[in-house]
């Protein structure tokens, strides 16, 4: 029987976006059907494989998307969303494969579920791009998302604090306004995609919050204080408004904790 960690490593080292999404969904299906052994002997790669395109640039070198409802601006938006979801597959897989042995089965189940969701999100966005006559890889993309994974590879608490509880939480903040713009442009299919993604991301952030609370409890720390300390240490940006307080509350984020960090920034 193939090991879970080897299957995760194989998916992480799959460069082609469509094949990576399919590999992620297959391994999650195999895991749920009992076809993969609880074995974490295969090491996770420092960086996942990436396709030749898109060109990856530092965030400050990314070209402007354009303004208004132009076709160019619409394609740039959906291309950026495709890139976020593509990298999110790897972030969830790495979370399960790197920390699963120490955190247990529920942790693995939750973050493999996230990986399957992100693979599905990528696939439906890629199809939406295709309807516009575009494809993932046509435009450059930023290389900042994986940096957070590299800097927290040694500490599950830090990884949980940054990836689901900052990066994915930011998606909860910005998606409603994006959804309104997409719907106003007449793209109802795109609006439905964003509604689905928003609902899933609330659940993903909730997984992060729940497992982070367990880590904090094991350390004898307050979850709020530990989160603030880890974000201050490992997150290079700022936690800043506007916040989608209702979605954040549904996800289990502490309003007192994130507003305190925002006020310091």
Domains of the chain, residue spans: 1-36+59-143, 144-265
Cross-strand pairs, 37: 3
Q: Is residue 122's pLDDT more than 80? A: yes
Give the tens place of pLDDT for each residue, 44-55: 999 999 999 999
The whole model's pTM is what? 0.95
Domain 1-36+59-143 has CATH 1.20.120: yes
Give the tens place of pLDDT for each residue, 233-264: 999 889 999 999 999 999 999 999 999 999 88
pLDDT of residue 58: 79
């Amino acid at each position: 029987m193939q090991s879970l960690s080897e299957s995760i490593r194989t998916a992480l080292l799959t460069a082609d976006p469509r094949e990576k999404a399919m590999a992620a969904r297959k391994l999650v299906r195999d895991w749920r059907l009992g076809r993969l052994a609880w074995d974490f002997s295969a090491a996770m790669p420092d960086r996942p494989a990436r396709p030749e395109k898109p060109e990856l640039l530092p965030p400050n070198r990314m070209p402007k998307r354009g303004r208004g409802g132009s076709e160019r601006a619409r394609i740039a938006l959906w291309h950026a969303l495709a890139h976020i979801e593509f990298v999110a597959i790897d972030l969830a897989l790495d979370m399960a494969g790197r920390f699963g042995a120490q955190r247990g089965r529920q942790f693995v189940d939750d973050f493999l579920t996230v990986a399957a969701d992100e693979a599905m999100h990528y696939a439906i966005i890629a199809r939406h791009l295709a309807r516009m006559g575009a494809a993932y890889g046509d435009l450059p993309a930023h290389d900042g998302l994986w940096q957070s994974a590299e800097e927290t590879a040694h500490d599950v608490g830090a990884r949980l604090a940054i990836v689901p509880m900052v990066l994915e939480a930011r998606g909860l903040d910005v998606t409603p306004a994006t959804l309104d713009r997409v719907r106003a442009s007449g793209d109802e299919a795109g609006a439905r995609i964003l509604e689905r993604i928003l609902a899933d991301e609330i659940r993903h952030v909730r997984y992060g919050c729940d497992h982070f609370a367990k880590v904090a409890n094991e350390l004898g720390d307050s979850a709020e204080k530990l989160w603030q300390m880890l974000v201050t240490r490992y997150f290079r940006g700022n936690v800043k408004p506007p916040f989608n307080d209702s979605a954040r509350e549904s996800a289990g984020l502490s309003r007192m904790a994130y507003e305190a960090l925002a006020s310091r920034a």
